[in-house]
Structure 1
Amino acid sequence: MYYKNITDRIQFEIEELKLDQIRSDISKVGLPRLDTTDQLIQHKAMSLVYSEKHEQPQWVSHIITTDIRYGAEGRSNDFRVDPFVSTGTATESDYFLKTLKTDGSYAYDGFGYDRGHLAPSADFRWSAQALSESYYYSNMSPMLADFNRDSWAKLEDLFRSYIYRNPETQLYIVTGPVLSDDLPKIPRAQNNVTIPKHFFKVALDLTNNRAIAFILPNSKNENPLESYPVNIAEVESITGIDFFHQLSDDIEAKLETLKDPKPFLSGSEQSDVIPDHPTKLPRNTYNTIMAKS
């Protein structure tokens, strides 16, 4: 590999060490229990199991580290097939058609769904390598725009903001669609891509012994995030996925029954009374609401 100078080389080697540590931590703590038929896909900063039946990930595991406070990498929008999934993944033509016009530009015919990140690219903005890999279709599920760019983006930002307030720790995150055989498919998709009705996200802070989970409907949501917390055990019951099984039984049992969202909310978001409509994100916080997925 070519380096412009010694500083670039050192920075690259430091990044590689951080990515190695993340991959190790995911393997030791963040991986759900694997079924005998699961093919584990391990990228530099996220691991996943892909569902060929539904043409999207069953779950994606990653870690939000304190490095996001200093990251400056922007969206790459380099959506592409994941070469590590042996059965192949969904593709661009499962979400829209692109036609070249005579003037050299493209006409887009969308099928009504965003390519929604499960592990958000913004969580990897400290690493160009990890951010780029977040655009694999193995990390995408079909989301309605009103969901992906609003309540889902706010949930993603909630956990990033938590790390800003708690830089001494890191968050283990597992995200996925709630899948079942009776769900509809995207009618015009090239592959049989399932349209989930709900998505889950579970989070674990081992340093401070905190955990929380959310299940959100794939729709425009008028309620604030405080309306949707559940404990991890509830997500396990709904999905059949066994999260954080490598923890000792007593610690796992304790953390997976926690449900209070307040430790994960900023001061302005904490409230004893749930408002009728969601509040706006705090000023200057990073989110993906305005990003075109």
Structure 2
Amino acid sequence: MRSIAPLLAAILLLASCQKETVPGPTGPVQPPLPEHLTLGNPSGATTDEAQPTNYLLSKPQYALSYHRDQGKPNWVSWHLSSTWLGTAARQDDFRPDADLPASWYHVSASSYTNSGFDRGHNCPSADRTSTVADNSATFLMTNMMPQAPRNNQQTWANLEEYCRTLRAAGNELYIICGSYGRGGTGSNGYLTTLDNGHVTVPARCWKVVVVLPTGDNDASRVGSATRVIAIDLPNDNALSTSWGTYRTNVDAIEAATGLDLLSAVPATVQQTIESRTDTGATN
């Protein structure tokens, strides 16, 4: 009878070379997504510099896909919960983002000067008041898009404030927003670009808000009855101040932008909530 020692040695050697995994109920446990991408990465953005039109910046305060050639984000995603709110003052320290590759053009605080467009926050300053550092992070120019003043200061701001009202009522929110198209009308008239062509003025600004009762395992808690607010605004100084006027559905925003929003939510739930236009309260 042949010795089985060589065979046992080979088995043990093979086992030692296998990549270690942590078993879960249905297989290996996958690492959790970053907080601000809990509901998905809408464009599959990565930190590959060879993809300059879809470059991922995952910051402690928010995540975004940056478009180098447009000088603004494709989208910005963040989680709004009580832990992000406090008493830190608005910093107003608009500045270039040092996290971009050094060889890229860095949009500056003066890139919008005298353009007739606001430096419009995607993730708002008032959603990040827990610490001075958190608030300051919202003033990086990679978090800005050119917005008509009436859009930014009234219609857009009214929805931002309503989101914080929902949070104060015992909810946590996942918010994704961005812009698309080319050409908007600010206080000085119609423009397609700023800063010698380095910053594209978008034609439309959009936002999607997912409202959940405060809890855990958030992506799995999104259900067919979950409230999802979606708006798509013209970047125009003559628009209505009522954000409810511009409600649409997630499917329509995906069709306009090519993004895959809420991709971490179960597919059957996505089909329901993404096709529905919100009819809830607006204040």
CA spacing shift, 1:33–1:237, aligned 2, 3 Å? same
| TM-score w.r.t. length of structure 2 | 0.73
Identity %: 27
Q: Partners in 2 of 1:121 and 1:197 — Cα distance?
A: 23
Select the residue among 174, 177, 188 that pairs with 2:179: 177
C-alpha contact (below 8 Å) 2:94/2:140 kept by paired residues: yes
Kindly report which structure 2 residues correspond to 1:64-143, keeping only aligned pairs within 5 A, or say none.
Answer: 64-67=80-83, 71-86=86-101, 87-96=104-113, 110-143=114-147
| TM-score w.r.t. length of structure 1 | 0.71
Partner of 2:167: 163
Q: Partners in 2 of 1:78 and 1:223 — Cα distance?
A: 27
Name which one, 1 or 2, has greater alpha-carbon Rg.
2
C-alpha contact (below 8 Å) 2:156/2:243 kept by paired residues: no
Q: CA RMSD in A?
A: 2.4
What is the deviation of 1:170?
1.1
Partner of 1:195: 201
CA spacing shift, 1:172–1:159, aligned 2, 3 Å? same
Q: Which is further off, 47-56 or 204-213?
A: 204-213
Partner of 1:238: 256
Amino acid at match of 2:109: E
CA spacing shift, 1:180–1:197, aligned 2, 3 Å? closer
Partner of 2:229: 212
What is the number of equivalent residue pairs in this alignment? 227
What is the deviation of 1:25?
2.6
Q: Secondary structure at the match of 1:31?
A: coil
- Does residue 265 in structure 1 map to residue 282 in structure 2? yes
User: Runs of 4 or more off by more than 4 Å in structure 1?
Assistant: 180-184
Q: Secondary structure at the match of 1:91?
A: coil
CA spacing shift, 1:30–1:66, aligned 2, 3 Å? farther
Amino acid at match of 1:39: Y
Q: Partners in 1 of 2:227 and 2:146 — Cα distance?
A: 30
CA offsets 1:4-27 (integer angstroms, 9 cap, x no match) = xxxxxxxxxxxxxxxxxx983323
Partner of 1:254: 272
Q: Partners in 2 of 1:223 and 1:43 — Cα distance?
A: 31
